[in-house]
Structure 1
């Protein structure tokens, strides 16, 4: 069997390339040969749910609709054109997307890549929510996206915008004209939205959230923001025939490379942009790969870095695969992947499904995501009954930073720098450190620098960074269900002013804190090292953490 390992794979006029040294490895060739023997390309393109074994069959049977989206989603195009025309006729030129995980990451990538404005609200940070509510409210339309219809963050956003519209003096029918709901058929959100007179767009129920880029979840907000979403479908459709073939199949090649490498111990995929022209694609791929593969003590940990010269990429160790998103001849990674955005969405979904089969997991379930949600619900119940959350007492306070951690981890630390040093020392061999920031991602812009700083200090171990609570819908699954080699840095903060969630007995700050404490409980219950730094004064505290991390890294990011 011949494979064009270093040549562009062209299908229907779209160039998608997977190349690099790793794809030539014997283990990858063996994985491809085994997949061809098992007829994986033909069976996957035919949505065969038996590919991942009997335990996964029932879930896969209702999660393979993404295979056909390049054609099936075309039915949405007339509806999307009419919807955009209606919104424009109402004078609504500020589009807000309230969604989490797969419901928000794909539209954010699409609109940023095509240069179209979209306000993405995927947070429970009170300051960030308040800023969105106060931004051009008279010209705002809100897309409320939730597959289940019960996502607590999205429900809170919807309630807050309904109240903001009422406060602006809008009558119920004018509010209804400004809210568009995207959800699965039969969800509780569909019922309540129809009762309120909102425009409802139903998504394909046979597609999981992280595979939903080319469903209504990805297309509705992108189209309202002004993107020609038909081009996304065209590019994906041009690639689709190649994914059904045994040769020149870039999805099979990428999936085999990721899966075979993980089986051999290279289970961290370090992703850097190398001139792809696609904005933020690594963040979308992160949630797809982590939530799909991180379970049963196995998985591929995606590590999104700042560039090909970033710590953790240029100096990646033997447990990592370097993936460069960009020109095929860049030579910047063990694997280089290039192609237009619509085709890339389909390519990575296909490759993740293939890699999951090689690793031996069900790529369509997320058995550990619900745990933190349940913990959050219990904590909100405690808040309602007792008037406060059970945060406990800090081990010590260092200036504007309250430090929480068990005595065994802290090992006598009396400063934040010493506590961070102790946490780094607790990262297992071939393990990773996850930074989980319950902060305002548009105000606390320095926080992501922690990834590079701590990676320099981590002795070759990988470091990830995630904004909370959105990471709970992506890497949060890997943290609990993947290999038990993680250590965790949770950063929480006081807010400058709280904001009530209308119709609920809690505020946004209380919800955010309950989410942080709920996830903390899920991680510490597994006896994994976790340090919590609570910023008593946000700006000063974050500056202090950055300064300590900089000192540990040798003074430079």
Structure 2
């Protein structure tokens, strides 16, 4: 059954009080549910008019369910029990939270890291089918992954066409080429739904359903809650959440997520992409920060932060009068309410929540580097297993990793944030995420952590289009071995290197401070970096105590 509850206190409650009456008077809820494209102003109207298909997709989504179930049964009869999703952004984040919440296995391959791709190729290939998801049909990551799997299947004597399922928009380049190639099945998604709003379309449902999740219940939950969101009244949960996100005055533009027993593993990562890419533009926006209940950002709430606790339906989370929002509910309900609330927040912020004007910049820079194949820029210096690169003026007289970090953090503004970006294997190097909290304690500011290149399809938009208050720590590393991409003139290693370098190039062109750390040995480099951050954090605590 669909359910959603919201409790707010402090500035979050004040935002509801300040914004709700206007949202109700302007009939924002009923207009949104009626697909009124004028809600975000005349500049946004052309885009909004072709991006509101998520509002009433339920019949269309339900019609997919028997097709997915039949394909799952056919594949099971052929011995297929492992599914790999090749997708980026909304195409991967929604299925990941759906399947993790359902407790079923889905391998989400949202990386171009050679080690991570090789690991996905090496496991139980004879029992594997892949789902290639790309709205545009031209996503370089998913195309490269498809090529690698197609070759691996063929080399293993498996009919590759029978193991490849496609999800894409009708008429996309992939739609045509996949049908011509004779792949197992092509599912078309509604082209009037943007990628980050696509959780309940074929992009979310096909891989999740094939993996064994109860997608029928998911859609039913979302539809049930949607029936209440069209009401122009003060109890509308979507309006209230939208006000919390976009209605604080002055704007608290850091939304810090902490899971308090929600039972929805990975939900904050999905919401991060939805919010950051929808709002981060025109020099404004909301920066989601995926943290935990014991994170520094939640323990001490800064004036530009709204903590959001993702709670269980029976949880009692004390707000103690601090600024905080506590939300709970079933997965389908949560997904639809957050999509609705993000659209409402876009209206309050005065931006178009359906475009992503700055996402393409890093892609273009990466393509330019792949075409030119320049030699890697020389390191400013090497410290142990870490090569350090950055603007010479920024690094100054730095000769150690610790010096470089202090130089970068020295540029952090009182209302700024640190973005840590790791272009590594997010499974093998998962402990790297544990450095986020010590860095938040060290800086006293919100710290985001993103795995590259997948964050380029989410927070990457905010980094370029949002407030110019971020500083960026990029971490790359030498792979165990490189991996060819069949039919393309570059390898996975060259691709991820170009994506990292291209993004740094664009950030620097926007005047953002960037320090790049390249681990010449991943294990040694990560150990070294962890030690440096622990030392700096410890020195910071000692300084505070003595001060």
TM-score interval w.r.t. the shorter chain? Answer: over 0.9
**2:205 counterpart SS class:** helix
The match for 2:205 among 208, 219, 226 is 219
In 2, the alpha carbon distance for the partners of 1:66 and 1:555 equals 50
Which residue of the partner structure matches residue 545 of structure 2? none
Which residue of the partner structure matches residue 3 of structure 1? none
**1:231 counterpart SS class:** helix
In 2, the alpha carbon distance for the partners of 1:265 and 1:335 equals 15
Quick one: structure 1 residues 433 and 117, their matched pair in 2 at CA, closer, same or farther if it must change by over 3 Å? same
**2:43 counterpart SS class:** helix
Kindly report which structure 2 residues correspond to 1:292-303, keeping only aligned pairs within 5 A, or say none: 292-303=278-289
**1:446 counterpart SS class:** helix
**2:412 counterpart SS class:** coil
Which residue of the partner structure matches residue 451 of structure 1? 436
Which residue of the partner structure matches residue 418 of structure 1? 403
The match for 2:33 among 45, 59, 72 is 45
Are the counterparts in 2 of residues 183 and 189 from structure 1 also a CA contact under 8 Å? yes
Are the counterparts in 2 of residues 23 and 335 from structure 1 also a CA contact under 8 Å? no
> Deviation at 1:312?
1.8
Kindly report which structure 2 residues correspond to 1:215-294, keeping only aligned pairs within 5 A, or say none: 215-247=201-233, 248-261=235-248, 263-294=249-280
The match for 1:340 among 325, 330, 336 is 330
Which residue of the partner structure matches residue 355 of structure 1? 345
Between Structure 1 and Structure 2, how many residues are aligned?
534
Deviates more, 1:418-427 or 1:218-227: 418-427
In 2, the alpha carbon distance for the partners of 1:159 and 1:331 equals 51
Which residue of the partner structure matches residue 518 of structure 1? 502
The match for 2:64 among 70, 73, 76 is 76
Are the counterparts in 1 of residues 251 and 304 from structure 2 also a CA contact under 8 Å? yes
Kindly report which structure 2 residues correspond to 1:95-134, keeping only aligned pairs within 5 A, or say none: 95-134=83-122
> Deviation at 1:29?
2.0
Which residue of the partner structure matches residue 153 of structure 1? 141
In 1, the alpha carbon distance for the partners of 2:164 and 2:539 equals 48
In 2, the alpha carbon distance for the partners of 1:556 and 1:223 equals 49
**1:428 counterpart SS class:** coil
> Deviation at 1:82?
1.2
> Deviation at 1:331?
2.2
> Deviation at 1:556?
11
Which residue of the partner structure matches residue 392 of structure 1? 377
> Deviation at 1:23?
7.4
Which residue of the partner structure matches residue 32 of structure 1? 20
Q: Is 1:487 the counterpart of 2:471 in the alignment?
A: yes
Which residue of the partner structure matches residue 92 of structure 1? 80
> Deviation at 1:70?
3.0
Q: Structure 2-normalised TM-score?
A: 0.96
In 2, the alpha carbon distance for the partners of 1:490 and 1:226 equals 36
Which residue of the partner structure matches residue 531 of structure 1? 515
Which residue of the partner structure matches residue 390 of structure 2? 405
Which residue of the partner structure matches residue 193 of structure 2? 207
Are the counterparts in 2 of residues 535 and 541 from structure 1 also a CA contact under 8 Å? yes
Are the counterparts in 2 of residues 550 and 556 from structure 1 also a CA contact under 8 Å? no
In 2, the alpha carbon distance for the partners of 1:92 and 1:541 equals 39
In 2, the alpha carbon distance for the partners of 1:401 and 1:487 equals 20
Are the counterparts in 1 of residues 12 and 306 from structure 2 also a CA contact under 8 Å? no
In 1, the alpha carbon distance for the partners of 2:413 and 2:340 equals 31
> Deviation at 1:413?
1.2
**1:55 counterpart SS class:** coil
Are the counterparts in 1 of residues 471 and 514 from structure 2 also a CA contact under 8 Å? yes
In 1, the alpha carbon distance for the partners of 2:173 and 2:78 equals 27
> Deviation at 1:24?
6.7
> Deviation at 1:521?
0.6
Kindly report which structure 2 residues correspond to 1:313-328, keeping only aligned pairs within 5 A, or say none: 313-327=298-312
Task: Flag structure 2 segments of 5+ consecutive residues without an equivalent.
Answer: 542-547
Which residue of the partner structure matches residue 150 of structure 2? 162
Q: Is 1:382 the counterpart of 2:369 in the alignment?
A: no
Deviates more, 1:52-61 or 1:31-40: 31-40
Which residue of the partner structure matches residue 544 of structure 2? none
> Deviation at 1:363?
0.2
Deviations 1:371-418 (A, max 9, x none): 0001111111002xxxxx343111110011000011221121111011
> Deviation at 1:22?
4.2
Deviations 1:273-330 (A, max 9, x none): 001010110000000000000000000000000x211122212311100000004631
Which residue of the partner structure matches residue 7 of structure 1? none
In 1, the alpha carbon distance for the partners of 2:40 and 2:74 equals 44
**1:177 counterpart SS class:** helix
In 1, the alpha carbon distance for the partners of 2:448 and 2:359 equals 18
Q: Structure 1-normalised TM-score?
A: 0.94
Deviations 1:48-101 (A, max 9, x none): 111000100010011101111233311111211111111111110010000000
The match for 2:317 among 330, 353, 357 is 330
Deviates more, 1:65-74 or 1:88-97: 65-74
| Structure 1: 4+ residue segments shifted above 4 A | none
> Deviation at 1:196?
1.1
In 1, the alpha carbon distance for the partners of 2:405 and 2:11 equals 38
Are the counterparts in 2 of residues 71 and 233 from structure 1 also a CA contact under 8 Å? no
In 1, the alpha carbon distance for the partners of 2:7 and 2:214 equals 29
Which residue of the partner structure matches residue 294 of structure 2? 309
**2:296 counterpart SS class:** coil
The match for 1:197 among 182, 185, 206 is 182
Task: Flag structure 1 segments of 5+ consecutive residues without an equivalent.
Answer: 1-12, 384-388
Are the counterparts in 1 of residues 2 and 220 from structure 2 also a CA contact under 8 Å? no
Are the counterparts in 1 of residues 242 and 345 from structure 2 also a CA contact under 8 Å? yes
> Deviation at 1:27?
3.7
